[in-house]
Chains A and B, each alone.
Chain A
Amino acid sequence: MIEAEVKEFIVRDLWSITAIIILTYVFTGFLYIAGSAFGGSSGSLSTSSNIDPFAYRAVGSSIVVLSMMILSAMGQYIYSSMLSGRLEALLASPISLSAVLVVTAIPMMIFGLSIFMATAAPAIYIALSKYGVITAIESIAIIAIGMIPLFILGFLLSIAIAKLGSPVILNLSQAFIFTFSGALYPLIILPELLRLLPLSLPTYYIAEALRGLISSESQLPALGGVPRLLIVTLAYGSIGSILYRRFSRSIRGGVAA
């Protein structure tokens, strides 16, 4: 089943994967050029942070693109399965729905990790040259852990879309993730009341943990952001499992119920 999902997801559309990588750089370049044009290339992102401004943006853009991809793919999963009639077939099969979801998530995780490594290459290069291979592996591990709450978020969105019977909230959710991810810019620039929003999203903790790892002033990489990421992952996991149980009970009573 994993092999089938890998073929479905990755092998079928290598052009799209390459395009996503190139477009992430185009997006990062857009932000960098516009940011430098208005704020000057010697802005505080370049002078106060220990990380190169392009690498800072590459990390943020990669996390945002990855999150939006996961939200889009997972968010539409149940709804598109409902429309194509695949959901009923899956429910009637001897495989549990949770196994199907996990198996769907595995190739997406491989896909996501490859995309992240390619799109955040400037930051990974800094980590490699500064601290060696171990830190590069640690950053990949952070992304892998960070993707778990993102998948859960995508699954919760999927339930909402299936219940509403329209993917209309997908664009709204992506706009929300894009703006309040806490990955594209430091939280300090948000109005005080809005700063609570990024704190509720896993993207902020992924970005914090990754930037802490590659922009540490000491000779050793800083892993201070990792425990918070683990707590957020556990919190999302608990909420996800409660809602999944409710949803799987209701879905067996009828797809549109």
Chain B
Amino acid sequence: MVLLRSTILRSFSADLWRGVLVNFRGVDPWVEMISSPIWVLGLVLAIASQNPSILRDPITVKDICWSIVVFSMISDKLWIVGHMLDREKRSGVLENILVSNIPLSIHTLSPIVVSMLWSLASLGIILITVFPILGVNPAPIDPVLTAIGYILSDIVAAGIAMLYAPAVIKLRRPWIFTTFFQFTLPLISGIIPQSYVPPEIRGVIALNPLSYPVEILRRGATGSSYIDVQIGEAFMISIAGIAILYMIGMLFLIIARRMIIKRGV
């Protein structure tokens, strides 16, 4: 048992370091990180342009900024975690990883951690650039609640991307689906006020496990409430959502591994 635990820990540690070194080596990731606040600024302004007078209301601008932070977090997870197996398939190393006997679920933890570090670094840059440019105080109303909401949102978003990863290797043009989800998933994850969306979509938002940690994050960051739920309740649903998502995700990865070994990549 102890031997198995140390083997899993060693595999995870090796895989994590590989992920960090591959993704954060050289100038490229830093240039990419500089571009993320530019994308965020563009999205916030494009959304605000529907009614430019809201740019004079720092509370609404702060709400939009945090919504786009969530959008950016979901994008990172879909592209980094969701496309992980596909990248390895295309670079021809997926077979080697499968032969090495590391469970795909352990192997997936590395891009999850890397994508979380990536999103966190982007958030830091966004907080010190985009928020002041738009005249918004980046300080959250309740830092503890914001941190809890942020961590839970990040874990749930990574779980959703983990569910998506086995599907990506089967798709011929996965970028089409990822781009589609990149713009639709945030809309049903509580980044816009629930009162605005039609009743049918409200049902989808209520069923989406990502809506609840995003609600905790927003209440902590801006004080705004978009979903009618108690904080304690939102926390419990988030934890339950994480447990269910990761169990299904791991099951999908086990099935995907068996199918790949049986039928080939």
Binding site for B on A (CB under 8 A): 15-16, 19, 22-23, 26-27, 29-40, 43-46, 53, 60, 166, 168-169, 171-172, 174-176, 178-180, 184-186, 188-191, 194
Nearest CB of A to B57, in Å? 10
- Picked from B31, B42, B184, the residue with its CB within 8 Å of the CB of A26 is B184
**Cα distance A179–B60 when bound, in Å?**
20
List 3 A-B pairs, minimum CB-CB distance, nearest first: A43-B51, A35-B50, A39-B51
B28 within 8 Å of A by Cβ? yes
- Picked from B31, B49, B67, B176, the residue with its CB within 8 Å of the CB of A16 is B176
B147 within 8 Å of A by Cβ? no
**Cα distance A45–B28 when bound, in Å?**
38
**Cα distance A159–B187 when bound, in Å?**
39
A34 pairs with B192, CB closer than 8 A: yes
**Cα distance A60–B64 when bound, in Å?**
20
> Interface with A: B7-15, B33-41, B85-93, B215-223, which one?
B33-41
Q: Which of B18-59 contact A (CB under 8 A)?
A: 27-28, 31-32, 34-36, 38-39, 41-42, 45-55
**Cα distance A22–B183 when bound, in Å?**
12
**Cα distance A164–B129 when bound, in Å?**
27
* Interface size band for B: 35 or more
A-B pairs with beta carbons under 8 A, tally: 130
Q: Hey, which chain B residues are within 8 Å of A37, CB to CB?
A: 192-193, 196-197
Q: Hey, which chain A residues are within 8 Å of B50, CB to CB?
A: 31-32, 35-36, 38-40, 43, 45-46, 53
Given the interface pairs A26-B183, A37-B192, the reply to whether A168 lies near B31 with Cβ below 8 Å is yes
A169 pairs with B52, CB closer than 8 A: no
Q: Hey, which chain B residues are within 8 Å of A29, CB to CB?
A: 183
Nearest CB of B to A247, in Å? 22
A34 pairs with B187, CB closer than 8 A: yes
Q: How would residues 164 to 206 of chain B score, 1 for a CB under 8 Å from any chain A CB and 0 otherwise?
A: 0000000001001001100110110001110011000000000
Most buried by A among B38, B60, B193: B38
- Picked from A30, A53, A174, A194, the residue with its CB within 8 Å of the CB of B183 is A30
- Picked from A60, A178, A184, A189, the residue with its CB within 8 Å of the CB of B52 is A189
**Cα distance A16–B175 when bound, in Å?**
10
Q: Hey, which chain A residues are within 8 Å of B179, CB to CB?
A: 23, 26
**Cα distance A186–B41 when bound, in Å?**
14
Given the interface pairs A34-B67, A171-B32, A178-B42, the reply to whether A40 lies near B51 with Cβ below 8 Å is yes
14 residue pairs of the A-B complex, CB under 8 angstroms, read A19-B176, A26-B180, A31-B47, A31-B50, A34-B64, A35-B49, A38-B54, A38-B63, A171-B35, A172-B38, A176-B35, A179-B45, A185-B49, A189-B48
**Cα distance A178–B37 when bound, in Å?**
12
**Cα distance A45–B196 when bound, in Å?**
18
Q: Which of B54-90 contact A (CB under 8 A)?
A: 54-55, 60, 63-64, 67
Q: Hey, which chain B residues are within 8 Å of A174, CB to CB?
A: 35
